[in-house]
Structure 1
Amino acid sequence: MSDVTILAPSPTLTVTVEDHPQGSEIHVHAGGQGVWQARMLRRLDVPVTMCCVLSGEIGRMLQHLLEDEGITVVAVEREGRGSAYVHDRRQGKRIVIAEEEGDPIDRHARDDLYGAVLHTGAESKAVLLSGPAGDSTVPADLYRRLTLDLRNEERPVIADLAGDRMRAVVEGGIDVLKVSHEELRSDGLVSDASVPDLARAMRRLREQGAGAVIVTRSSEPLLLLDEHGLIEVSLPRFEENEARGAGDSLTAGVVAALTRSETLRDALSLGAAAGALNVTRHGLGTGDPDAIAGLRESVQVREIALSDADAGMPQGRVSPDGLAALAETEES
């Protein structure tokens, strides 16, 4: 049994060309959101099971790469095109040579994947729902149904999603939602990255069903809104080497702490440290656990008190009747 079950519908085979004194160096790894989260969890010594669909030749390669990293893989195998990319980073910047999202996951494979998550998740301390390689890979409603079916007071369900998939898990009543301010802006939920604007959006997400909402703001302090109110979490800034994967490392750090019975507010300090260290590295979802533990000591947390006009802090999940009452109040 693993402490964490991750839904990672379509892992990506990554091929990256790096500069080398004797020519070029080619790196082949498993990648994608769920993989980067799983990799950081393993760095933090948390056993992980990944439920995924592995397609064709790419899928067979991914299975070996994932297992070599100590990740338990529960795979639905099928023929077809898997997700993959080839990037050239020899000049210091990522140049896309080729990218492929892979074939959409058909109904039969989705049913098998759904069953795998329910089965393994029932034995885990936490379940993490991550996104697929492409928008058309799986329907968003799969996430809503999984959120409903996985809910258990003793096993938190965490989602790191945006767009239709974010709205789906919120409707399902997700325990913890992590999203970036850029994603909220893309979804039309905020107009800027100001704390009052973000707090209002976070409040709406809680009213609609999310238990707690974490919003990252690039290099700015992240925010958490829960039943106790709003807090800001900050760390020293580092020279950025690779921004991708930092948010996934943050999510993984939070989940790792939750499996050790820490409160969400305490868990954020581990997540913030893991995310901050990741931006200094080439490898996505990587970081030395001792360095992360040391950084955690420098995390700063402060309460933010906003007026009712700015944010109107909720005191818990709001029922459908409560939402109707709020709508009537706003109309009047």
Structure 2
Amino acid sequence: MSDVTVFAPSPTLTITVEDHPQGSEIHVHAGGQGVWQARMLRRLGCEVTMCCVLTGEIGSTLGHLLEDEGLRVVSVERAGRGSAYVHDRRGGKRVAVAEEQGDPLGRHDLDDLYTRMLDAGSRSRISILSGPAGDETVPADMYRRLAADLRDEERRVVADLAGDRMRAVLAGGVDVLKISHEELAGDGLITDDSTAGIRAAMRRLREEGAGTVVVTRASDPLLMMDDRGTVEVSLPAFAEAETRGAGDSLTAGVVAGLVRGEPLRRAITLGAAAGALNVTRHGLGTGDGAAIRSLRDRVRQRTVDAEEAPVAEERTSPDGLAARAAPEEDR
């Protein structure tokens, strides 16, 4: 039995070329939202099962890479084209050389994937539902069914999704939904970046099926709304090394706190620390547990009552750190 099962339907093989004093250095890793979440969970001392589809030659390579990271992999194996990318960072910025989202899943593969996730998730305390590499890879309704079938009095479901997949998990019911304010805007739930507008959208998301909603919002502190109201959570800014993956590390940190038995308002501080540290590193979903634990002491949390809008501080959320440049703790 694992502490957490991560639904990562189509992990990505990532190949990155970087500068080296003697020429070029080529890095090959498993990647994608669910992988980055699972990697951070392992850094925070959680036992993790990843449920995914491994496709073709790329899938075979990914299976070995995931197991080498200490993950228990429950997979559906099939022929075809898997998700992968080749990025060139030798000039200081990411340049996409080649990117492939992979082939959509057929009916039999979808049935097998659902069965494996339902079985693995039923053996874990918490399940995370993360998105696929491409919009057409997995139908959104699978997320509704998983959210509904995995939740019970002893098990929680956490989702880090937007668009049709977010609406699907809301219909199924989800304990924690994490989303960015940019994604809220993209889904037509807000028309501006005002705190009042974001909080109104958060209330709507709770009414539609989310127990707690966490919204990251660029350079402003993140907001979390639960049964008790709203809190804002902030961190000092850090110099950035990599702008991606902060939100995934945040989600993983929150879940790691929940695994430890912490209430959500305490767990969010671990998530904020994990997300903030992520942007100081080139590796996505990485960071030392002791460093995250120390950084957690610098997280600031303030309660926002129902009538008063929060006053912005000169601090930023983990996703905010990443947004300025564009968009590993023991149990």
Contact 2:229 2:306 in 1 (8 A): no
State the partner residue of 1:188.
188
Letter in structure 2 aligned against 1:49: T
CA distance in 2, matches of 1:219, 1:70: 34
Contact 2:49 2:71 in 1 (8 A): yes
1:108-130 per-residue CA deviation (whole Å, 9 max, x = no partner) reads: 11111111111111111100000
State the partner residue of 2:198.
198
Greater CA drift, 170-179 or 185-194: 185-194
CA distance in 2, matches of 1:133, 1:254: 23
State the partner residue of 1:230.
230
Unpaired runs of 5+ residues, structure 2, are 311-331
Provide the secondary structure at the position in 2 that maps to 1:242: coil
1:7-46 matches, within 5 Å, as 7-46=7-46
State the partner residue of 1:216.
216
CA distance in 2, matches of 1:2, 1:197: 38
State the partner residue of 1:325.
none
CA distance in 2, matches of 1:164, 1:24: 40
State the partner residue of 1:110.
110
Letter in structure 2 aligned against 1:299: V
CA distance in 2, matches of 1:194, 1:152: 35
CA distance in 2, matches of 1:44, 1:305: 32
CA distance in 1, matches of 2:69, 2:220: 32
1:53-106 per-residue CA deviation (whole Å, 9 max, x = no partner) reads: 000000000000000000110010000000000000001100000000000011
State the partner residue of 1:280.
280
Letter in structure 2 aligned against 1:149: D
CA distance in 2, matches of 1:123, 1:186: 35
Q: How far 1:154 sits from its partner (Å)? A: 1.6
Give the number of the structure whose alpha-carbon radius of gyration is greater. Answer: 1
CA distance in 1, matches of 2:216, 2:125: 24
Q: How far 1:220 sits from its partner (Å)? A: 2.0
Q: How far 1:306 sits from its partner (Å)? A: 3.4
Letter in structure 2 aligned against 1:103: D
TM normalised by structure 1 equals 0.92
TM normalised by structure 2 equals 0.92
CA distance in 2, matches of 1:155, 1:93: 41
Contact 1:32 1:133 in 2 (8 A): yes
CA distance in 2, matches of 1:192, 1:279: 26
Q: How far 1:304 sits from its partner (Å)? A: 0.9
Q: CA RMSD in A?
A: 1.2
CA distance in 1, matches of 2:231, 2:35: 29
Q: How far 1:180 sits from its partner (Å)? A: 0.6
